Chain A
């Protein structure tokens, strides 16, 4: 039945339509006279915009050619699809075809600044759930004819539009080809969110570090595009996914570029230092208390010793308990509306922290260490990198509990080598450091920007 042709009689069509839609009550089927012919106007009340319908019908009535603004459907299947998209189908008595009017409702939020990627100064707009608007935001910043957009449809049931955006000439052709090929395959798979798509693309890259960078900021996206990266955007996702990405990109923020070289570089190094700090700080605490307490000065050692005297757990578990507590507080707070979230923070931070120390379950020092670690891990601009950091700090802690400093060195060595080894879409992940490239280090780590360097060369 669905592939049946449309009938000439309106009544018959109406009956079929109502049957297909299971007599849903938001289906509007109205009889009216258009240009002295009987016509049936069908649409979904919840999907179509009334004003648009009226406007377009008026134009039709006035006899203005409709060829540009509409397409024709000839069977029930197409007609149903058109209606589902929010369009209106006009069936005219005596014709075995329907005219589709573009009347879909559009409810869109304005491109506000994304919550989790705030900047102090600079542009305050972000991507929204509409692909066209997002590409508009990118193009507005990047007025170049080289900016290339390729559309693909992915997903078997959802049929989402995906756009691959890159600068031709700068982005690697092979990588683009690979992505396009992979997206062809994706047409047959289920795709609900953009993450599924990208994870499939990068399924051969085996690493715990984030392989792609999500951003909701058009300015950040364009910055990466000019560096030759590729952005993947999907309809109904307010994020752009940048591939291939390197480790140090996660420590950059658009803010850095607004500021002077000195503070931009300083903040970037603070972020990097807190990454390393958060990675090994708890482990160092464990190693010192378990193995090498002679390394800290005498005055400090008496303080530490006094505070851990009553703690019943070995240092590893002591630190572990606190880390788990902090993770719980964070995880609990993140999904709650902000007023309750704040309460959780207070309960967790002040009450648990204070009580647990007074009870003598964990020492003051470990609370300081873990709290500091948590703060350090939040300075990192990227949420994914923060997650990686938290996961990685556990094996290092285990190694520290087993071998002390030697364990810390051994595990960081393995992590470092892993970073050197990983390649994302044939691009080295640890780029300016491995392979070592001094010019890029200046640019990426010290933020000596390409433009200023070009000027110097002249």
Chain B
């Protein structure tokens, strides 16, 4: 027995390790950007940390370097990047994937194919679409002395925590892009001051996997509320008293403490579908310069006007997403699951922009800070 096993083990030892992937010999890609060039090729931009002093001492470099290459496909570009570096690039720890506008308009899924296929892919990297090119976004100058990748990933995480965008990672967007009755929204980044700084400016509405419209931050917050993405940090700012003299007194600012969404639909006539999105919100007033909230009547008035304003904004948002043929609310999904007959009858992609979606809000003030 032993005489068989021992030679085999020795044999294995002698033949060496095939899958060896020494950390030492790899340069870690921190962020990846994909663009489409004018002649239809893929331009891939990667950032990686600049080499620091070394020696035994630990020092973390805060500088990054960027390389851009153009090739026919994403994987082709990846092979080319290796020509530029003494170390092999490894993308498994990338934190952010940024997609340029041109590519997003043509469809992002083919570009991501290699990521889904790769066993070491950074599936939990955040995704963002930039208005402009991803290359410019990754070469942004002012990153608050963070690594470019950290800058973007923290930007997205913080914004998600604040409830103004939804930061889906690569893995999370895949089932939504591939599902029939739901579409995805992806955070939008805008470059300012000639590409010196970057900021989050809302989101991109994808139809399938193609850019088909955009929302600004206010609308995006509204959309997230309509989607039922509950977040206790989400805030809204609404114009409630347009007649007040002072600018500050015209507005109310509140936080959403509790959100509940209900989606119902009615099928009347041939292709007449009316969808009602009923959202009940419990809010806490953060800023309301007119005060007088001790008076219940006054408070009721305020609630009424808040409801009116939110519904107005919601309608505008819904208009926009229907225009973009983006079913971020997942209406199709619900109909498919609970009314399969109706689903069979209609072609959802064609029907969706036509249907009527009515937002209904039920708002309740539960607190108003420590002031009345």
A–B contact (CB under 8 angstroms):
yes
Residues of A within 8 A of B (CB): 288-291, 293-294, 298, 301-311, 314-315, 357-360, 363-364, 398, 401-404
Which of A288, A291, A298, A308 is B24 in contact with, Cβ under 8 Å?
A308
Which of B12, B13, B59, B92 is A306 in contact with, Cβ under 8 Å?
B59
A314 surroundings in chain B (CB, below 8 A): 22
Which of B12, B21, B56, B60 is A363 in contact with, Cβ under 8 Å?
B56
Cβ of B169 to closest chain A Cβ, rounded Å? 14
A301 lies within 8 A of B28 (CB): yes
Which of A289, A293, A303, A358 is B58 in contact with, Cβ under 8 Å?
A303
28 A-B pairs (CB sep. < 8 Å): A289-B22, A289-B23, A290-B20, A290-B23, A291-B19, A293-B21, A293-B26, A293-B92, A294-B92, A294-B93, A302-B49, A302-B60, A306-B58, A307-B56, A307-B58, A309-B24, A310-B55, A310-B56, A314-B22, A315-B22, A357-B56, A358-B55, A358-B56, A359-B56, A360-B55, A364-B56, A398-B13, A404-B19
Q: Which residue of A lies closest to B26 (CB)?
A: A293
Question: 14 other contacts beyond A289-B22, A291-B19, A293-B21, with CB at 8 A cut-off?
Answer: A290-B21, A290-B23, A294-B90, A301-B28, A302-B28, A305-B23, A306-B52, A306-B54, A310-B54, A310-B56, A364-B56, A364-B58, A398-B13, A402-B12
Given contacts A290-B22, A294-B93, A305-B24, contact A402 B13 (CB under 8 A): yes
Number of A-B pairs, beta carbon distance below 8 Å: 71
Q: In chain B, residues 104-134, which have Cβ atoms closer than 8 Å to a Cβ of chain A?
A: 120
Q: Which residue of A lies closest to B94 (CB)?
A: A298
B21 lies within 8 A of A309 (CB): no
Given contacts A305-B28, A306-B52, A359-B56, contact A291 B13 (CB under 8 A): no
A293 lies within 8 A of B54 (CB): no
Q: In chain B, residues 191-227, which have Cβ atoms closer than 8 Å to a Cβ of chain A?
A: none
A302 surroundings in chain B (CB, below 8 A): 28, 49, 60
Chain B contact-residue range equals 20 to 34
Q: Mark B311-335, 1 if CB is under 8 A from A, else 0.
A: 0000000000000000000000000
Q: In chain B, residues 64-119, which have Cβ atoms closer than 8 Å to a Cβ of chain A?
A: 90, 92-93, 95
B21 surroundings in chain A (CB, below 8 A): 290-291, 293
B12 lies within 8 A of A294 (CB): no
In the A-B complex, the 5 residue pairs with the closest CB atoms: A294-B92, A293-B23, A357-B56, A309-B54, A306-B58
Does B17 make an interface contact (CB < 8 A)? yes
A306 surroundings in chain B (CB, below 8 A): 52, 54, 58-60
B19 surroundings in chain A (CB, below 8 A): 291, 403-404
B24 lies within 8 A of A311 (CB): yes
Q: Which residue of B lies closest to A315 (CB)?
A: B22
A249 and B21 CA atoms in complex are apart in Å by 41
A357 and B57 CA atoms in complex are apart in Å by 9
A67 and B59 CA atoms in complex are apart in Å by 88
Interface centre among A306, A308, A311, A358 (most CB of B within 10 A): A306
Q: Which residue of A lies closest to B2 (CB)?
A: A206
B23 lies within 8 A of A308 (CB): yes
Residues of B within 8 A of A (CB): 12-13, 17, 19-24, 26, 28, 49, 52, 54-56, 58-60, 90, 92-93, 95, 120
Cβ of A155 to closest chain B Cβ, rounded Å? 32
A304 lies within 8 A of B54 (CB): no
A291 surroundings in chain B (CB, below 8 A): 19-21
B28 surroundings in chain A (CB, below 8 A): 298, 301-302, 305
Q: Which residue of B lies closest to A361 (CB)?
A: B56
Cβ of B20 to closest chain A Cβ, rounded Å? 6
A247 and B250 CA atoms in complex are apart in Å by 77
A320 and B21 CA atoms in complex are apart in Å by 19
A289 and B17 CA atoms in complex are apart in Å by 13
Which of B17, B22, B93 is A301 in contact with, Cβ under 8 Å?
B93
B55 surroundings in chain A (CB, below 8 A): 310, 358, 360
Cβ of B97 to closest chain A Cβ, rounded Å? 15
Q: Which residue of A lies closest to B59 (CB)?
A: A306
A307 and B95 CA atoms in complex are apart in Å by 22
B22 surroundings in chain A (CB, below 8 A): 289-290, 314-315
A309 and B90 CA atoms in complex are apart in Å by 16
A402 lies within 8 A of B17 (CB): yes
A289 and B25 CA atoms in complex are apart in Å by 10
Given contacts A309-B54, A357-B56, A402-B17, contact A298 B95 (CB under 8 A): yes
Cβ of B10 to closest chain A Cβ, rounded Å? 11
Cβ of A304 to closest chain B Cβ, rounded Å? 7
Given contacts A306-B60, A310-B56, contact A294 B17 (CB under 8 A): no
Cβ of B360 to closest chain A Cβ, rounded Å? 44
A301 and B22 CA atoms in complex are apart in Å by 12
Interface centre among B17, B19, B56 (most CB of A within 10 A): B56
B12 surroundings in chain A (CB, below 8 A): 402
A301 lies within 8 A of B95 (CB): no
Cβ of B267 to closest chain A Cβ, rounded Å? 49
A401 and B15 CA atoms in complex are apart in Å by 12
A311 surroundings in chain B (CB, below 8 A): 24
Q: Which residue of A lies closest to B16 (CB)?
A: A402
A402 surroundings in chain B (CB, below 8 A): 12-13, 17
Which of B24, B54, B95, B120 is A294 in contact with, Cβ under 8 Å?
B120
B120 surroundings in chain A (CB, below 8 A): 294
Q: Which residue of A lies closest to B52 (CB)?
A: A306
A303 and B93 CA atoms in complex are apart in Å by 14
A293 and B25 CA atoms in complex are apart in Å by 12
Given contacts A294-B92, A398-B13, A402-B13, contact A301 B23 (CB under 8 A): yes
Cβ of A164 to closest chain B Cβ, rounded Å? 34
B56 surroundings in chain A (CB, below 8 A): 307, 310, 357-360, 363-364
A301 and B48 CA atoms in complex are apart in Å by 13
A305 surroundings in chain B (CB, below 8 A): 23-24, 28
A303 surroundings in chain B (CB, below 8 A): 58, 60
A305 and B12 CA atoms in complex are apart in Å by 28
Cβ of A394 to closest chain B Cβ, rounded Å? 12
